């Protein structure tokens, strides 16, 4: 009887261990699905067109107005011909400052900067830098962010 009892206890323990694995795996997958439901948007700015720069900033402002600035994470990534949006002399410099103030992340592509011989001192203050704009945009989508090309 004692042997049988021990045997069953071991079997139950083994089942319980597998249960934990199943629950953990399911929980992990579930958490990722839930994370994908968060309000996160990565915006691409790759045109040398101040009209597009203003549109991107309008889109960001509307996302914040509709959802509440605290409830949406926004990252604007400028690269290629769009890098001018973030130069010191940018015509939307004031609006970038305002956007940064509301918690929007604004990132310049260092690949593009190297290609155009731009230093950080040539750029607007307060912005972020990413190694490669396209990689950043790809990775954000992999992390579940929505993509918007204004």
CB 56 within 8 A of CB 150: yes
Establish if 142 lies at the interface with a second copy (CB under 8 A).
Answer: yes
Establish if 16 lies at the interface with a second copy (CB under 8 A).
Answer: yes
Establish if 70 lies at the interface with a second copy (CB under 8 A).
Answer: no
Element (H, E) at 36: none
Q: How far apart are CA 98 and CA 93, in angstroms?
A: 9
Establish if 148 lies at the interface with a second copy (CB under 8 A).
Answer: yes
Q: Return the residue of 2, 101, 121, 131 that touches a second copy, per CB under 8 A.
A: 131
Establish if 33 lies at the interface with a second copy (CB under 8 A).
Answer: yes
Q: Return the residue of 65, 103, 120, 125 that touches a second copy, per CB under 8 A.
A: 65
Q: How far apart are CA 115 and CA 129, in angstroms?
A: 15
Q: Collapse the DSSP code of 124 into the 3-class scheme (helix H, G, I; strand E, B; otherwise coil) and give the result.
A: coil
In this structure, is the dihedral angle defined by the CA atoms of residues 66, 125, 113 and 85, taken in order, positive or negative? positive
Q: Collapse the DSSP code of 118 into the 3-class scheme (helix H, G, I; strand E, B; otherwise coil) and give the result.
A: coil
Contacting positions for a second copy (CB under 8 A): 4-5, 8, 11-12, 15-16, 18-19, 21-23, 25-30, 32-33, 36-39, 41, 44, 46, 55, 58-59, 62-63, 65-67, 80-81, 111, 131-135, 137-138, 141-142, 144, 146-150
């Amino acid at each position: 009887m004692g042997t049988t009892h021990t045997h069953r206890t071991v079997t139950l323990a083994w089942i319980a261990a597998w249960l934990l694995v199943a629950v953990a795996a399911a929980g992990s997958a579930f958490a990722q699905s839930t994370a994908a439901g968060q309000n996160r948007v990565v915006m691409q700015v790759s045109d040398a067109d101040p009209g597009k720069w203003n549109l991107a900033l309008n889109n960001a402002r509307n996302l914040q107005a509709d959802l509440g600035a605290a409830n949406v994470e926004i990252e604007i990534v400028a690269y290629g011909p769009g890098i001018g949006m973030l130069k010191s002399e940018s015509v939307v410099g004031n609006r970038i400052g305002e956007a940064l103030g509301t918690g929007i992340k604004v990132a310049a592509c260092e690949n593009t900067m190297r290609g155009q011989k731009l230093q950080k001192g040539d750029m607007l203050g307060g912005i972020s830098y990413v190694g490669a704009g396209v990689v950043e945009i790809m990775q954000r989508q992999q992390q579940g962010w929505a993509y918007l090309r204004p």
